A and B are shown apart, each in its own frame.
Chain A
């Protein structure tokens, strides 16, 4: 059987993997300068991603950052790691392809509310249901920012946008209920303004074996300023954390939390262990491989062909 290796056309040639590696500093992890407006909530999510990589000693090549389309979805350009900027709404499907092929990678997906709940809504449901191992952080700003202020699926009723000049009419999606109902096994809520809390949620999400979802309120300073003031104590709001006695495996209790009046609760709503798609597929493979142990691929194929003689 032939092994086909493609030529590497890189002028730089090959290199050695260093034996010892220090945790990556922000300087090493930062790539392009973000294109976001000054004051955008997404900056702190990015800073915390760098922090997470440093704190948890993740290596460059073992991280894969994936995004769809939107302001927040520019994320992969700002990170020195393998990354993909895919099409609108389909980041989760792309990232699932990466995750299911490569158990050695940490797959992080970033996006906004339009990407997650409008154009990509169905992928959100199914990636959650299949429990594909990856972390999905939605920077929810309640508005379409990149296209300059149209109503988003999370815009509250009455929000005045260019597509609803008299105020939004349609009932917004409740991302927490959506995630729980779809079968996500890790559902948390935080804000871009509460740095320690968001970092804690990101770490917990990364450690979760399954589809981990973080709803992160991230203010659009340009098109929906002040949207999350009520969740920011420095702006006179409150940051009501989920009580310590909340049972994260209690789906009903999680729904109740998701129904609280604005600004709602923050923290880990729901977390259960359910076999991941990755583990299920790995088991199917292991079972099948056991039956063909010691055989080369062409010999396995020959068995099929012999039956079709």
Chain B
């Protein structure tokens, strides 16, 4: 959005209409106000209007609620992050105003509920203040009973007017949202919305019109990262899973519990995290890759059983929607501090696969890739999502479901003989036969956590232990060979290479774009496959003076973030350094650029 929002225009004239390319809208209130719902409507509308959208929200970790925000960035072109600064701030309370006014771009519009918010006189010159007595107007529109519930939809009406949004599409979304409830609910919501839309806002100098979206003719779906992951798991053919509730993973298990029966599957809520991991492994052993998941503390609990899956070479998919740690940490905040436990958690040498999605769309496809890697290499695969991706909403192209969905049912064809841990196979990869498979030789395999021979029977042989350790390690080296080498964005050589994983991809891409526009030789590289790493990264690194890993975790005892430490140990390259933070919030582009500049210029 242009910086001229605070137009030098006399009050009383009709608002000027500006055509804009994108806008960042931040809604601040309490979690009970349903501000997530407004954000959801805006995101869905963007999806249906061929625009790109990304959201960012914070929620209190208590049931009784508390301050909460929802930020939506809508763009007619590419949207890579939720936006550093808001163009418009809608706030319901004094605390929302005080805490979030600084997130507003200078000259931006603050739309506030004048029944509750008293603007700061000193800021009147810096931001365009527009007060609307939202609370009393809602009472006027729908009567006293719905007051607290109607504020959000009323405000949506105000925003719709301000941004010339498509009213019929929004009304349809509102109707869909309340379909199945008492019809009066939708009627009241619509009355509220129309009240807001029809309100003649005093003091609004300007309204906006989005340029048409660039994704013309492309159907989009709008969902959160957690929804995309869960649907990806279903598309991948997984039909059994087990889990235990924990924020922010719970909505994945709730969705799988609700949806899997339609596909003939089951999701079990277990007594604890250990049982969830164990039951999922049992489900996998029964013939079809199963899924479990959790967030930080639950992942800690799962590690012993995960080690068994490494030892027994049992495929299984484990989702970790990371939150702030250690221990109970920051349950509703984003962090990327579980990389170490994902790659190395547990005792003994236990190689496993770790991959991280970078966007909501990527969550869907990563789930499928994880299942396929688990099957092909007979290994546990950890999907490292995070609270940021899990809870944010994005629009993405409608997947080709007919081709994407797959059947991974077990193969019970009788075999003459079978050695799951055959050391002579050409590809070195274990293949299990599911119980129910007849073995003509009468020799049946056992799967075990003890070191074992080729049939799975225990052994104390140091030689076999060495051979089996190699087998478990080498199959992942083989996977590394097959992984695509990631592509650099920006030039393939230069001063700084920013390296991201997980949710940092969008922000570093935007950082690279901005920096390059200013003539700086900065490029970016995003790593999706974290364990094993793809081969050939050293050649990419060689072409840059500095390699800076941007990650949401602590710099640790030795001054390097978790991925940075892995890359340093992998490549023995002291040029690899990191910028890290643990403030519980996603990266701002400005933060990345400022921190990188400081790191790469100081001597």
Contact = CB atoms under 8 A, between A and B. Distances in A.
B278 A87 contact: yes
B266 A87 contact: no
Interface stretch (A48-56, A140-148, A264-272, A290-298): A290-298
A261 interface: no
Interface in A83-127: 83-87, 90, 93-98, 100-102, 104-105, 122-123, 125-126
A126 B438 contact: no
A228 interface: no
B424 A11 contact: yes
Contacts of A66: 282
Contacts of B444: 31, 60-61, 80-83
Contact of A84 (B274, B413, B437, B448): B448
B259 interface: yes
Given A8-B431, A87-B304, A309-B48, A93 B282 contact: yes
A301 B220 contact: no
B559 interface: no
Given A86-B308, A284-B261, A289-B264, A301 B278 contact: no
A305 interface: yes
A301 B234 contact: yes
A287 B262 CA distance: 8
B415 A10 contact: yes
A22 interface: no
A298 B285 contact: no
A10 B418 CA distance: 5
B167 to A, nearest CB: 18
Contact of A102 (B259, B287, B404): B287
Interface residues of A, number: 73
Given A86-B449, A304-B231, A15 B372 contact: no
Given A15-B414, A94-B282, A84 B419 contact: no
A2 B403 CA distance: 7
Given A4-B407, A13-B416, A102 B436 contact: yes
Interface stretch (B103-111, B235-243, B324-332, B540-548): B235-243
Contacts of B415: 8, 10, 12-15
Contacts of B281: 86, 94, 97
Nearest to A123: B275
Given A126-B271, A301-B405, A11 B417 contact: yes
B442 A86 contact: no
Contacts of A16: 414, 440
B402 interface: yes
A1 B262 contact: no
A76 to B, nearest CB: 5
A3 interface: yes
B221 interface: yes
A298 B443 CA distance: 39
B429 interface: yes
A305 B282 CA distance: 31
Nearest to A29: B442
A181 interface: no
Given A10-B417, A10-B419, A291-B262, A93 B279 contact: yes
A6 B431 contact: yes
Interface of A: 1-17, 28, 31-32, 59-64, 66, 76-77, 80-87, 90, 93-98, 100-102, 104-105, 122-123, 125-126, 277, 281, 284-285, 287-289, 291-292, 296-298, 300-302, 304-305, 307-309
9 contacts: A2-B406, A3-B406, A4-B237, A8-B415, A31-B457, A82-B444, A93-B275, A96-B279, A97-B280
Given A100-B240, A101-B240, 11 more contacts: A3-B409, A6-B375, A15-B440, A31-B457, A77-B448, A77-B458, A84-B448, A101-B266, A300-B262, A304-B231, A305-B221
A-B CB proximity, top 9 nearest: A97-B282, A12-B417, A12-B416, A82-B435, A93-B278, A15-B440, A288-B261, A101-B286, A94-B282
Interface of B: 44, 47-48, 176, 219-223, 227, 231, 234-235, 237, 240, 242, 259, 261-266, 268, 270-272, 274-276, 278-288, 290, 304-305, 308, 312, 372, 375-376, 398-399, 401-409, 411, 413-419, 422, 424-427, 429, 431, 433-450, 457-458
